[in-house]
Amino acid sequence: MRKYNCFLFSALCLAMMGCHSMKEERHVHEHEHEGMEEHDLHAGEIVFHEEQARAAGLEVITVSPSSFTEVIHVSGQIQSTPDNEATVVSASAGVVDFAGKYLTEGMSVKSGTPLVTVSAKNMVNGDPSVAAEVEYESALREYERAKSLVADRLISQEEFEQIRLRYEKAKNARPSAVTSSGVTVSSPIEGYIKKVYIKKGDYVDVGQPVVVVSRDKRLQLRAEVSEKYADRLPTLMGANFKPSYGDTLYKLSDLNGRLISYGRSVDDNSFYIPVIFDFDNRGDIIPGSYVEVFLLSLPLMDVIAVPVSALTEEEGLHFVYVQLEKEIFKKQEVRIGLSDGERVRILSGLKEGDRVVTKGTYQVKLAATASVIPEGHSHAH
């Protein structure tokens, strides 16, 4: 029994020694394989395989000098043009009721759509619209009778003119849309409700604003420009803008835009000069919204510029990723200049012929943390 136990112990020791030897051999083999994969990499280079590139939708451009428009980067606001808005006022005094179930901002309306009714039925002095209607009917009857009397010379021309003036006055004072519910106030144009000034049950006077209707076929871009750029305003050629509620960049050149005017003086309170453009509204731009504005000035020639999507930023420094070979990339620091919202001018760090990643930049950046070879260390032979 003792011999059997000694034999079993010896066999177990030999097996353990064999497993240890196999692990060491596999480790050496994996290290050699890893060394083969990194054999052609140099310091700071990044491996980004073709499969990764397809998954990331990688896109690369070849850098070449081109024209680039000088930019003044400012803030601004989208506004409705004066001829595309109508302020609807009450034609009589009284209590407001909605013509429909509700009246809300953003609601579409047609020209002639009833918006509210104004009634003075329960007012202390009675309903002025009823009194105006009675006065109009009385003046109309007297006017029709006077026309035949003056033709037969039964009344003088002077008497007739007095009767006619009373009729004209009553006609103008008469509300044009009187119903059993009161005086109806309708939209004068087709568009949407931009602003509602009243609530159901409010009291309004004659001429008091009720709603603002806007059709917004054309909009205005108002940019506020610092006085230090005053000498560059005559050179403005157009503008791009980006609303605060999204990342879409709009180009006035694509929206039939044009420069309307710019201020010749500075506001004492703001120290800014207004610059006004107008453009076609394609339906997804919200009047009243604040925007980031890129005013475009005279173009510069032979400028190196890349799309905004090519840039990454780390601790105030800017970088791009340059393709060296099919699956080899390098992180490259660049010094940037102005941006037109679409492209950024590169002042240093890139040259003509460099291939720069413009889509999939973030994925290459992530790959860099896994595959980059530290400076001062290389597997190349």
Mean pLDDT across 129-154: 81
Angle (CA) 270-245-227 rounded to 5° is 20
Cα–Cα distance for residue pair 286/26, rounded to 1 Å: 65
Whole-number pLDDT of residue 291: 95
- Which of 9-18, 58-67, 125-134, 154-163 is most confident? 58-67
Tens of pLDDT along 12-48? Answer: 444 455 444 444 444 444 444 444 344 456 777 889 9
- Using CA atoms, how far residue 60 sits from 7, 52, 351, 360, 362, in Å, is 68, 14, 15, 9, 13
Tens of pLDDT along 187-219? Answer: 888 888 888 999 988 988 888 999 988 887 789
Residue that has been written with the tokens 């039939």 in this structure: 256
Mean pLDDT across 139-161: 87
Extents of the domains making up the chain: 45-65+304-371, 72-81+217-302, 91-207
Mean pLDDT across 358-369: 89
Assign 3-class secondary structure to the chain. CHHHHHHHHHHHHHHHHHHHHHHHHHHHHHHHHHHHHCCCCCCCEEECCHHHHHHHCCEEEECCCEEEEEEEEEEEEEEECHHHEEEEECCCCEEEEECCCCCCCCCEECCCCEEEEEECCCCCCCCHHHHHHHHHHHHHHHHHHHHHHHHCCCCCHHHHHHHHHHHHHHHHHCCCCEECCEEEEECCCCEEEEEECCCCCCEECCCCEEEEEECCCEEEEEEEEEHHHHHHHHHCCEEEEEECCCCCCEEHHHCCCEEEEECCCCCCCCCEEEEEEEEECCCCCCCCCEEEEEEEEEEEEEECEEEHHHCEEECCEEEEEEECCCCEEEEEEEEEEEECCCEEEEEECCCCCCEEEEECHHHHHHHHHHHCCCCCCCCCC
Confidence of residue 250 (pLDDT cuts 50, 70, 90): very high
Confidence of residue 243 (pLDDT cuts 50, 70, 90): very high
Average pLDDT, the chain: 81
Cα–Cα distance for residue pair 266/225, rounded to 1 Å: 10
Whole-number pLDDT of residue 354: 95
Q: Count of alpha carbons within 13 Å of 56, Cβ hemisphere only?
A: 20
Q: Which residue has the higher pLDDT, 120 or 329?
A: 329
Which candidate, 345, 256, 335, places its Cα nearest to that of 63? 345
Q: Which of 16-20, 104-108, 236-240, 368-372 has the lowest mean pLDDT?
A: 16-20
Confidence of residue 373 (pLDDT cuts 50, 70, 90): low
Q: What would the two tokens of residue 349 be?
A: 């760090």
Whole-number pLDDT of residue 14: 45
The single-letter code of the amino acid at 90 is: S
pLDDT at 55 over 50: yes
Q: Is 115 exposed, middle or buried (0-12, 13-18, 19+ CB in 10 A)?
A: buried
Cα–Cα distance for residue pair 151/162, rounded to 1 Å: 15
Q: What would the two tokens of residue 295 be?
A: 């005013």
Cα end-to-end distance, the chain, whole Å: 60
Cα–Cα distance for residue pair 248/251, rounded to 1 Å: 10
The CATH architecture that domain 45-65+304-371 belongs to is: Beta Barrel (2.40)
Confidence of residue 309 (pLDDT cuts 50, 70, 90): very high
Contact in structure between 97 and 116 (CB atoms under 8 Å)? yes
Whole-number pLDDT of residue 259: 93
Tens of pLDDT along 325-351? Answer: 998 999 999 999 888 888 999 999 999
CATH number, domain 72-81+217-302, options 3.30.200.20, 1.20.1260.10, 1.20.120.80, 2.40.30.170? 2.40.30.170
Confidence of residue 64 (pLDDT cuts 50, 70, 90): very high
Mean pLDDT across 361-367: 90
Mean pLDDT across 272-298: 89
Whole-number pLDDT of residue 122: 65
CATH number, domain 91-207, options 3.20.20.105, 3.40.50.300, 1.10.287.470, 3.40.50.970? 1.10.287.470
pLDDT at 371 over 60: no
Whole-number pLDDT of residue 216: 75
